[in-house]
Structure formats: structure tokens, C-alpha cells
């Protein structure tokens, strides 16, 4: 008979914790929730204060039976699910199923799975926090009322299998609104003028800044001609030199949202993959003789707070590894995100001393890459700012002024370890100007005007959408990844070159929901509901009152929709060719990864095929086939001959229709971090990169 039974969610977590607690403790896993609302019906009694009707989740009977058996043999039961609303709800359901008094000291929480953290948490068990449970119940019940009322309507009026949820509907609306912005965008012409300047042996670049003492935007070629026509000869004089020192602070340690964004930028990870890997690192990794160790703190958090112990350990590591100058002099005050609960620490390594290279051999490639990202971001956040020397120089010819700017790193500070990624891939690079002073004469040459057009706002990447949802106060750390997953599974949006595009189905569903349930799609309303859940958690308001205020208005909209919503028929777009298997017409379908062709005789014929996209280039290898755009199993675009397997030409870079001017070979567009560069596959010919 064991003295104590500890219940957690997963076997991996159970294995890690059991070795820290000793022989008197048995640690078992509930495998997540054991009770939930039924899938076959609403499961919420709207006539009796929205009482949820919980049932044992299908397939969890054997798990519960085993837990009940273990509970009978234990003197004391501890419920150690994750330290958030969902974890508190799991603990509450387990208490109900195992007859544990929720007012007893049965709940244990910890932010990291390390020996010290586990031992400390068992010194201070507490009762189950019903405010946290009620906040989770409020969200669960509200989402059930919305989903199980609107979804059947969509099944009847549009097609089976559709759903509409609060957060997912707003996410789809944002993607569709962005698409409308792009379609409605009218490009505006503008020009820039750059020139090279020579001082002795040094050469540097400057851009047009002003004319006749005024900053002037160049909107047309006529504007450019006026500026260039005002330049007399090629002699310029330095009229102003400004030198400054600029500090650059490190980014804060990760929250769930910023971790998902940075993993997308730097590692090309989807939100779902990031959270799966983070869960593994949190629950524990086998480190040889050291045993199973949790490598990072809890990964669902909206806080950038760091414990004093972690700060002290990081400071010691930084001083020993990089020197005292690299320590931050004053503690930074981190900005608190709107709506952030600040219940947990930031996502950080459980020990700074466990640097990535010491654990690399025990991790998979992707686990290592994510751990390295988390470790470097945290260590950098505790380091001194980088110091940059910046220089600005004005060069005058008549009434025309060009300006050159440059910078170099004076002291690397945190940049020695880590530099935050950027959505637009623009990197800050050193570009120091020569030693110049007022009155110096320089020679201007190669004045180059260039025409540009303003660009529409970009489509959302996963990282940008998560960031925008967080900024608007929509959803919580635990909801971002599932939301992005759901809107793709339902076919409302698809990923095109890692950016979201709406589907016809998504636009139809949005239009119907917007017409009859405007609140569900209102950004401010959805953010307000998140604040209401937070108020429930803080004990300021009863969860039933929050639900009732919503449902009374929602019920009116529902009755109107049931009476007035018209049936919509979505016709498949003909593909213009017949199925090679049965002869029926092929049609275009939209799947999770974009458009594809399918037989219209489905389900009798299940023939599908990818859409072949020709790029207008003859195969440089066999000279007979055409180059087509294809996708690898990992959805990466590549280019190959349509005569494959007879011709095995393949290229990750896009071939161009024009020949190389140097050797008549094949030119390709090679993607760089800052744009694209045209280069030859056969010789060393390269063109200047284009952003």
C-alpha cells in the first residue's frame, strides 16, 4: 500500500515526477480530461442555470477504473495537473470521480518539473481553486452554446461538417478582411535616388534627402528629373556630420505567443509543432545518468516574469562565461501585455547551466532547436544592452542634399547570444561610413533613380496572426495553436506559401455568421468575453451571470437565423478535364493545403491529383519537357520537368525564361533572406539582389 497517490495528465510527466518523490509516492496519469460535455448533444441545461451535464469521456473508463483502484490503496491523493484553468478543471473532475474533498489540501501546482520545484510544491498543497474551475467552465459552456447551436444551422444551410466558434470565427474574419484590403489596394508610385560617393580610397552610398531646404517625396519621374537636373557636376561637400551612441535592449523572455512567433520565423515551425515539442521539453527528457529532467518551465503563459532564483543563476552564468560587462546593470521593467494574467513565469530553461550543447545528444533535432531558441532568448534577456555607434552625413551639391547613414557594433552585449527575428526578414547589418568631417569634398557618381510602388499589407502568417490575436486580447495561450488548426481543418482558410488565404467556403460561412450573429465576429466583443472570463477567475463575477447575459441576446439572434437564413449551394469549379479512372469530369476542391483536383464522381471514384502549374520555361536538361511547379512531402515548392521520370531535372530555385547573358545557360531566382537574386546554374553570373 502506497502512502500517497499523485495524479498528473501524462505518463511522461508521471515518470519524471515519480523519481523525485520517493518510494512512498505513486504517480499515475489521467491522460488529460476524464470528464467532459457529451459529443452527441448540447450537454448544457439552459433552463436550470446552464448546468453542464458531464459524462466520462469515451475510452477513459479503464483509466478511471485504474485510478479508483490506486486511490483506494492510498492514504492521501494529490492532484497535480497543469497550473492553469484547464489543469484546475482536470483536477476538479478527478476529485469528483475519485471522491476527493475539493476543500482539502489536495491540489499541488508547480511551474517547472525539477526536483526542487516538485519538493517545494508538495510542502504547500491547497484546496481546488473554484474560481479557476468556474472560469474554465464559463469558456467551455459558452463555446458549447455557440458551437452546438450555430453548427447545425450551417450543416442545414451550407454543408455538413462545418462549425463556428468564437475565436476561430474572428480569426477567419481577420484573414478575409486582410484579403479584401489586398484586393482593394491601389498601388502608389514613388521613386528613390541613390548614388555612390568617393572619398580617397573609400566608397559609400547615400540617398536623396532634400532639395531647396525641404524634404521632398518623389512621386513621379518628373520629380526625379527636377532633382537630378538641379545637380551640377559631381562635386559634393559634407555639410553636416552627426555621431551618436544608441543602445539596443534585448527582447523579453518568451511567452506562449512570442515563442510560437519566433519558432515560426527562425525554425519554420507551425504553432502546433512548437507546442508539441515544448510539452515534451516541459514534461521531461531522459538525460542519461541524470535521469528524466524537465528542461523548460510551463509553456502556456502570457507572462514575462522571471523568478529571483532563475535570475541569479543566469547572472552567475553570464558573468563566468562572458564577463561582468555583459551583465545587465539595472533590472528592466517588462511591459505587461493587455489582458495578461501573469499567473506563471515566462517560458525559460529550468537551469541556465544546462546549455544546449550539454543536452544535444539526448534530444531529437527539433527538440534541440527549440530548446536552444528558448535558452538563448532567456540568457540574452538577462544581459546588458548592445551599444551601437551610429553616424549620419549630409552631402550637398547646390540645393540638393543626399544623406548617408551607417552604424557599427561598439559593444555586442546580448547580441553575443541572440538577436530577435523579424517578420519582414530585414536584418540590421554593420555599414560604417569612412571618417568624414564638415567641409570635406567628395565625388558623386552613378546616380541611380529607381521606381517603386507601394505594396498592399501582407497576408497573415501563423506568427503574425497569433501576434495580432494576442494584441487584440482574443484567445489565451492555450487556444492559439488549436484555433489555427481548426480553421484549416474546416476548409475555411488554406496556407499558400506559408500565408493564410480564405477559401470560398470560409467567405460564405463568414457572411452568414456576420449577418445573423454579429457579436460572434466582433473583435471587441470577443475580447470583452475574455475579460469576463478573467473576472470570473478573479472572483469578481459569477460564471452563470456571464453566460446568461450572453445567451439571452444570442437566443434572439438564433431564432431569427433559423427562420430567415437561406440555403447556400456551393458548386465545385470544373477543372476542364476528365478523370482518367472513370471518365467523369474533374473539379477543383479546396483542402487544408490549398487547391487540388478531384473526381466529381466521389465517393464512387476517389481519384485526386495535384494542380500542375507551368511557369513558361522549357526544360534545360532534356529540351523537350516544360518546367512545372511542384511541392515536396513537406510542402516545400520545387521545380521539375513534366516528363519525369524520363527526365529527372529538379531545382529548388525557380528557372527563368531568359538565358544567361554570359554563357547562355539557365538563370534561376534564388531566394535570399532579403529578397531574391538572379544567378546562373552553369556559370558564376549573378545579378544584384532585389528586395
Record the pTM.
Answer: 0.79
pLDDT value at residue 590:
66
Does residue 4 have an active-site annotation?
Answer: no
Q: At 339, is the pLDDT very low, low, confident or very high (cuts 50, 70, 90)?
A: very low
* Model confidence at 481: pLDDT above 70: yes
Q: At 336, is the pLDDT very low, low, confident or very high (cuts 50, 70, 90)?
A: low
Look at the chain and count its residues: 691
Peptide bond into 625 cis (omega under 30): no
Higher pLDDT, 475 or 313: 313
pLDDT value at residue 137:
97
**To the nearest whole number, what is the mean pLDDT of the chain?**
91
Tell me the three cell numbers of residue 474.
Answer: 482574443
pLDDT tens digits for range 620-651: 988 889 999 887 766 678 999 988 888 889 99
pLDDT value at residue 2:
65
Q: At 591, is the pLDDT very low, low, confident or very high (cuts 50, 70, 90)?
A: low
Q: At 419, is the pLDDT very low, low, confident or very high (cuts 50, 70, 90)?
A: confident
Distance CA(179)–CA(458), nearest Å, equals 9
Q: Which fold has domain 138-184+458-564?
A: Topoisomerase I; domain 2 (1.10.460)
Distance CA(276)–CA(257), nearest Å, equals 14
* Model confidence at 338: pLDDT above 60: no
pLDDT value at residue 425:
47
- The CATH 1.10.460.10 domain(s) of the chain lie at 138-184+458-564
Q: Are strands 4-8 and 25-29 parallel, antiparallel or unpaired?
A: parallel
pLDDT tens digits for range 260-300: 999 999 999 999 999 999 999 999 999 998 888 999 999 99
Q: CA-based Rg of the chain, rounded to a whole angstrom?
A: 30
Is the CB of residue 594 less than 8 Å from the CB of residue 495? yes
Question: How many other β-carbons are positioned within 10 Å of the β-carbon of residue 551?
Answer: 19
φ and ψ at 588, to 5 degrees? -85, 135
Q: Specify the DSSP element, H or E, that contains 536.
A: helix 523-537
Picking from 615, 614, 522, 512, the residue whose alpha carbon sits closest to that of residue 565 is: 512
* Model confidence at 335: pLDDT above 90: no
Picking from 433, 425, 427, 385, the residue whose alpha carbon sits closest to that of residue 408 is: 433
pLDDT value at residue 548:
97
Picking from 337, 318, 342, the residue whose alpha carbon sits closest to that of residue 329 is: 318
- Neighbouring residues of 534: CB distance < 8 A, sequence distance ≥ 6: 135, 339, 341
Question: How many other β-carbons are positioned within 10 Å of the β-carbon of residue 339?
Answer: 17
Residue 555 Cα distances to 49, 146, 549, 550, 551, angstroms: 15, 10, 11, 9, 6
pLDDT value at residue 77:
97
Which architecture, in CATH terms, is 189-249+386-453?
A: Distorted Sandwich (2.70)
Candidate list 20, 54, 298, 639, residue with the active-site label: 298
- The CATH 1.10.290.10 domain(s) of the chain lie at 256-382
Distance CA(674)–CA(689), nearest Å, equals 8
φ and ψ at 132, to 5 degrees? -65, -45
Q: Which CATH number fits domain 4-128: 3.30.590.10, 3.40.50.140, 3.40.50.720, 3.30.465.10?
A: 3.40.50.140
* Model confidence at 426: pLDDT above 50: no
Is the CB of residue 474 less than 8 Å from the CB of residue 523? yes
Distance CA(60)–CA(68), nearest Å, equals 12
Q: Are strands 400-411 and 441-453 parallel, antiparallel or unpaired?
A: unpaired
Picking from 32, 33, 42, 37, the residue whose alpha carbon sits closest to that of residue 54 is: 37
3-class state of residue 597 by DSSP: strand
Does domain 256-382 fall into CATH 1.10.290.10? Answer: yes
Q: Where are the beta strands (DSSP E) in 380-492?
A: 386-397, 400-411, 441-453
Q: Are strands 386-397 and 235-248 parallel, antiparallel or unpaired?
A: antiparallel
Q: Which residues pair with 240 in a beta bridge?
A: 394
pLDDT value at residue 354:
96
What angle in degrees, to the nearest 10, is found between the helix axes of 166-184 and 462-471? 110
* Model confidence at 384: pLDDT above 80: yes
Count each helix (H run) and each strand (E run) in the chain, helices first.
Answer: 17, 29
- Neighbouring residues of 562: CB distance < 8 A, sequence distance ≥ 6: 153
pLDDT value at residue 662:
86
- The CATH 2.70.20.10 domain(s) of the chain lie at 189-249+386-453
3-class state of residue 615 by DSSP: strand
- The CATH 3.40.50.140 domain(s) of the chain lie at 4-128
Distance CA(463)–CA(536), nearest Å, equals 29
* Model confidence at 171: pLDDT above 70: yes
Distance CA(372)–CA(359), nearest Å, equals 10
* Model confidence at 583: pLDDT above 50: yes
Amino acid at each position: 500500500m502506497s502512502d500517497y497517490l499523485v495524479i498528473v495528465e501524462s505518463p511522461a510527466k508521471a515518470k519524471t515526477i515519480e523519481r523525485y518523490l520517493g518510494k512512498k509516492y505513486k504517480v499515475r496519469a489521467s491522460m488529460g480530461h476524464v470528464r467532459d460535455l457529451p459529443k452527441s448533444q448540447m450537454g448544457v441545461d439552459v433552463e436550470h442555470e446552464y448546468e453542464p451535464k458531464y459524462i466520462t469521456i469515451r475510452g477513459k473508463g479503464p483509466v478511471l477504473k485504474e485510478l479508483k483502484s490506486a486511490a483506494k490503496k492510498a492514504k492521501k491523493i494529490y492532484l497535480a495537473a497543469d497550473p492553469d484553468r484547464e489543469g484546475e478543471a482536470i483536477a476538479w473532475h478527478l476529485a469528483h470521480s475519485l471522491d476527493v474533498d475539493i476543500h482539502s489540501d489536495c491540489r499541488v501546482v508547480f511551474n517547472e518539473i525539477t526536483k526542487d520545484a516538485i519538493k517545494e510544491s508538495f510542502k504547500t498543497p491547497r484546496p481546488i481553486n473554484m474560481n479557476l474551475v468556474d472560469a474554465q467552465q464559463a469558456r467551455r459552456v459558452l463555446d458549447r452554446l455557440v458551437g452546438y447551436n450555430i453548427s447545425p444551422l450551417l450543416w442545414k444551410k451550407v454543408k455538413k461538417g462545418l462549425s463556428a466558434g468564437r475565436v476561430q470565427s474572428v480569426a477567419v474574419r481577420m484573414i478575409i478582411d486582410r484579403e479584401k484590403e489586398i484586393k482593394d489596394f491601389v498601388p502608389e508610385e514613388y521613386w528613390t535616388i541613390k548614388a555612390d560617393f568617393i572619398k580617397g580610397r573609400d566608397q559609400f552610398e547615400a540617398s536623396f534627402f532634400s532639395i531647396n531646404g525641404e524634404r521632398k517625396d518623389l512621386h513621379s519621374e518628373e520629380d526625379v528629373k527636377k532633382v537630378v537636373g538641379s545637380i551640377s557636376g559631381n562635386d559634393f561637400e559634407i555639410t553636416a556630420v552627426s555621431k551618436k551612441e544608441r543602445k539596443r535592449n534585448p527582447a523579453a523572455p518568451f511567452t506562449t505567443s512570442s515563442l510560437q512567433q519566433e519558432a515560426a520565423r527562425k525554425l519554420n515551425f507551425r504553432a502546433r509543432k512548437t507546442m508539441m515539442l515544448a510539452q515534451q521539453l516541459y514534461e521531461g527528457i531522459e538525460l542519461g545518468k541524470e535521469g528524466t529532467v524537465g528542461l523548460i518551465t510551463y509553456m502556456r503563459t502570457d507572462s514575462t516574469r522571471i523568478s529571483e532564483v532563475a535570475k541569479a543563476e543566469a547572472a552567475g552564468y553570464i558573468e563566468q562565461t562572458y564577463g561582468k560587462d555583459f551583465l545587465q546593470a539595472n533590472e528592466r521593467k517588462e511591459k505587461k501585455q493587455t489582458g495578461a494574467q501573469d499567473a506563471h513565469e515566462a517560458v525559460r530553461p529550468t537551469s541556465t547551466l544546462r546549455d544546449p550543447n550539454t543536452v544535444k545528444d539526448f534530444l531529437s533535432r527539433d527538440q534541440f532547436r527549440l530548446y536552444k531558441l528558448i535558452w538563448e532568448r532567456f540568457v540574452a534577456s538577462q544581459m546588458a544592452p548592445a551599444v551601437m555607434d551610429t553616424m549620419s552625413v549630409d552631402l550637398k551639391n547646390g540645393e540638393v542634399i543626399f544623406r548617408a547613414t551607417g552604424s557599427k557594433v561598439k559593444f555586442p552585449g546580448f547580441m553575443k547570444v541572440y538577436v530577435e527575428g523579424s517578420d519582414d526578414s530585414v536584418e540590421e547589418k554593420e555599414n560604417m561610413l569612412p571618417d568624414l568631417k564638415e567641409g570635406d569634398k567628395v565625388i558623386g557618381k552613378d546616380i541611380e533613380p529607381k521606381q517603386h510602388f507601394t505594396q498592399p499589407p501582407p497576408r497573415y502568417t501563423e506568427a503574425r496572426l497569433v501576434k495580432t490575436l494576442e494584441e487584440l486580447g482574443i484567445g489565451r495561450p492555450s487556444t492559439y495553436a488549436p484555433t489555427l488548426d481548426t480553421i484549416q481543418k474546416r476548409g475555411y482558410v488554406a496556407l499558400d506559401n506559408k500565408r493564410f488565404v480564405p477559401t470560398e467556403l470560409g467567405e460564405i460561412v463568414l457572411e452568414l455568421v456576420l449577418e445573423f450573429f454579429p457579436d460572434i465576429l466582433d473583435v471587441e466583443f470577443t475580447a470583452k468575453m475574455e475579460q469576463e472570463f478573467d473576472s470570473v477567475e478573479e472572483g469578481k463575477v459569477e460564471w452563470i451571470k456571464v453566460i446568461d447575459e450572453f445567451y439571452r441576446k444570442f437566443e434572439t439572434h438564433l431564432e431569427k437565423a433559423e427562420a430567415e437564413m437561406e440555403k447556400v449551394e456551393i458548386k465545385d469549379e470544373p477543372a476542364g478535364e476528365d478523370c482518367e479512372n472513370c471518365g467523369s469530369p474533374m473539379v477543383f476542391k479546396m483542402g487544408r493545403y490549398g487547391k487540388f483536383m478531384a473526381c466529381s464522381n466521389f465517393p464512387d471514384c476517389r481519384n485526386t491529383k495535384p494542380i500542375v502549374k507551368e511557369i513558361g520555361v522549357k526544360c534545360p536538361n532534356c529540351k523537350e519537357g516544360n518546367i512545372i511547379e511542384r511541392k515536396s512531402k513537406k510542402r516545400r515548392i520545387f521545380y521539375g520537368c513534366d516528363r519525369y521520370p524520363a527526365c529527372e531535372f529538379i531545382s529548388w530555385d525557380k528557372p527563368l525564361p531568359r538565358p544567361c547573358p554570359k554563357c547562355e545557360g539557365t538563370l534561376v531566382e534564388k531566394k535570399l533572406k532579403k529578397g531574391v537574386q538572379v544567378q546562373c546554374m552553369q556559370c558564376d553570373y549573378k545579378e544584384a539582389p532585389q528586395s
